[in-house]
Each structure stands twice: as C-alpha cells, then as structure tokens.
Amino acid sequence: MLPGPTPGTPVPAAGGGFAVVDVETTGRSPWRHRVVEVAVVLLDERLRPEGEFCTLLDPAGPVGPTHVHRIAQADVEGAPRFREVAPRLLELLAGRVLVGHHVTCDHAFLDREFARIGVALPPVPLLCTMRLARAHLSEAGGFGLAACTEAAGLGRFPAHTALGDARATAGLLRHCLDAPSCPPDDWAAPLREAARVPWPRLGRARSDAAGAVVPQLRREPPYGLRPPGAQPPAAVPTGTGAMDSSA
C-alpha cells in the first residue's frame, strides 16, 4: 500500500498530479442521496504520495446503509456539512486528474454536492482504475476494488471506508500504470489536460462568528470500527494549512 504522508507535511498548492477520491454515501443516487464521508489521496505526476484528506460529513438526514459503510448516525454528530469542506476540496482537486475505482460514480456525487451549493465543477479529466485493471490486470478474478488489489498483491484494506478505499485505489493506480502493457499516454495525456482546466475558488469556511476553523471528523483506523465503549473520534481542524497525516 502507499506510505502515509510525513506528519506536518504542508498542503500542496494546486498543481499537477492525481487526486484519488472515494466517497461513502447515504444511497445510490447522486440526485437523491448525499455524501457522508469523503477522502482524497494526492499523488504527484510521478505517483509519489503528497498527502491525504478525509472527513465524515453531516448529510443533514439519515446516514443510509450503515451495514455497508459502518457509519452510524451518532458518528456524524459534530461533523461538517459538505458546504463547509467544499473550499478545501476545490483546492485539493484543482489542476489534477480525478481518479477513482468506478470514478464516474464518485465524480457524480461530488458534482451534485457542489451543484447544491451553486458551484459548477469544470470538465475535469477522469481516470478509472476499474477500467485500467480490465486492460492491465488480466489475472484479477473480478474487477471490484478488493479483487483488483488482491490480484495486484497490495494486501488487505478497510473496504467501504473512504480513506481505506482511496488508499487502495491509489496503490492500484500505481500498479496498473507501471504495467508494461500500459502506454505512457494513457496517463500523460490526462495530466496535460488537467493542468489546463480552470477551477473555481471559494473563500475558506469558518464554523462560527469568531472565525474558528471548520472541524474535520475522521474515522479511527484500521477499519473504521471502534471497540465497544470507545469514544467517537475527536474533531480536528481542517483549516490549519497542513494535511491530516494520522493514519
């Protein structure tokens, strides 16, 4: 799997590279359901890790299929709304190729969440690791994320947690792009295109009139589960100018 970012690593400025994203949602429809957890793993043009971001989100309603994503209603108490983390997400995604496993699904949910706050996402280039695996990982017994990472020898990961899935997808991206069967232009062309895309900007959100930064609420490792009786994860600020580096 990808190594974690160095603690205290500054947030990379908007620029080239890849933004590997994953969302956990309250249902299947981007039009009717909401994002309840979002993660972004940043890689530079040479696929080296630059940092990561992850937070639970308050969907302003039921959290949906807890049996799938293991997020309970109590877990999102005190979590930010999407509109509060939207400025940060725009900064992280700007100038980068958007990567995901079945990336059109993640993109559709992000696109609708931004649309709800009046922000139109630009036509960002997408790179799908499911499609890459179909072309360059023929030994996979299936093309779900777990089957692909197993075939690539990347080891186990906490499936259906946004950060676990995003990290696994980043590892799968590196594996597929390193395959001899993968021509460089499969990923060099999207990088060039991403660098030309103009991105909107939003002022940084604050959580109260005193100017406190918006809290980030992140699930505990390794599998998004807490031992019986354990307290929920503490909220940490997202507006400090540094990537969250806890694993």
Residues 32-52 pLDDT 10s: 999 999 999 999 999 999 999
Structure-token match 């695996």, residue found: 133
Give residue-wise pLDDT tens across range 175-186. 999 998 888 777
Q: CA–CA separation, 79 vs 55, rounded Å?
A: 8
DSSP state of 242: B
A 10 A CB-CB count for 225 gives 13
Give residue-wise pLDDT tens across range 103-139. 999 999 999 999 999 999 999 999 999 999 999 998 8
Please, which residues bridge with residue 25 across strands?
35
Give residue-wise pLDDT tens across range 84-107. 999 999 999 999 999 999 999 999
The runs of H, that is alpha helices, within the chain are 66-69, 82-93, 103-116, 129-136, 145-151, 162-177, 185-196
Q: CA–CA separation, 117 vs 115, rounded Å?
A: 5
Sign of CA dihedral 93, 99, 100, 106: positive
Q: What amino acid is encoded at 169 in this protein?
A: T
Structure-token match 């036509």, residue found: 123
Give residue-wise pLDDT tens across range 144-175. 999 999 999 998 899 999 999 999 999 999 99
